A = this chain, B = another copy of it.
């Protein structure tokens, strides 16, 4: 969800601007671990504040992409939300606002994603992808620019193309 559907980096820049008056550019966090994007522990502080998750802007193209993928895939939204208890209700409200077409049946809030069993996973964090037994797609985020060991998708346009290619191959495999 964060970094894939919700543009967490943009939200960090916005909240930092409100607090400090300093406007950071879209590449300000490039290559930095998420926790170290902002000075004075601001990242962790924002994550525990009410409304952070509720008001995060969308990653461009995410709504259209999920709607399109749902025509051919069972799409599950899996969010490592359990570390931030405030976020549970906020994330659910956020999904209802921006993705009203996703059923509650298909939403999972967890601590670790280690026990999630789907065919594909699109995620911005290697810690989630490294332990996943299915096919992985690394969604580009400022903190993962140096990662090389997962297939990278840099936009929802690319993600859709990659997933549909996978599906085409799996159909072909089944027919042989």
Which A residues have a C-beta under 8 Å from some C-beta of B? 76, 82-83, 85, 88-89, 92, 103-112, 115-118, 133
Partner among B92, B105, B112 whose Cβ is within 8 Å of the Cβ of A106: B112
Q: Which residues of B contact A85 (CB under 8 A)?
A: 89, 92
Partner among B83, B111, B117 whose Cβ is within 8 Å of the Cβ of A116: B117
Partner among B83, B88, B133 whose Cβ is within 8 Å of the Cβ of A109: B88
| A116 → B minimal CB distance (Å) | 6
Can you give 16 A-B contacts (C-beta < 8 A)? A82-B92, A82-B104, A82-B105, A82-B107, A83-B104, A85-B89, A89-B89, A106-B112, A107-B111, A108-B108, A108-B109, A108-B111, A108-B115, A115-B116, A116-B117, A117-B133
Q: Which residues of B contact A110 (CB under 8 A)?
A: 107-110
The answer for the CA separation of A157 and B38 in the assembled complex, in Å, is 51
Query: Cβ of A111 and Cβ of B117 under 8 Å apart?
Result: no
Q: Which residues of B contact A82 (CB under 8 A)?
A: 92, 104-105, 107-109
| Sample of 19 further A-B pairs with CB below 8 A, known A82-B107, A88-B92, A108-B108 | A76-B115, A82-B104, A82-B109, A83-B104, A88-B88, A88-B109, A104-B111, A105-B111, A106-B111, A106-B112, A107-B110, A107-B111, A108-B109, A108-B110, A108-B111, A115-B116, A116-B117, A117-B117, A117-B133
The answer for the CA separation of A109 and B133 in the assembled complex, in Å, is 21
With a 10 A CB-CB cut-off, give which of A76, A103, A108, A118 has the most chain B CB atoms.
A108
Question: 4 nearest interchain CB pairs?
Answer: A117-B117, A105-B111, A82-B104, A108-B110
The answer for the CA separation of A103 and B103 in the assembled complex, in Å, is 28
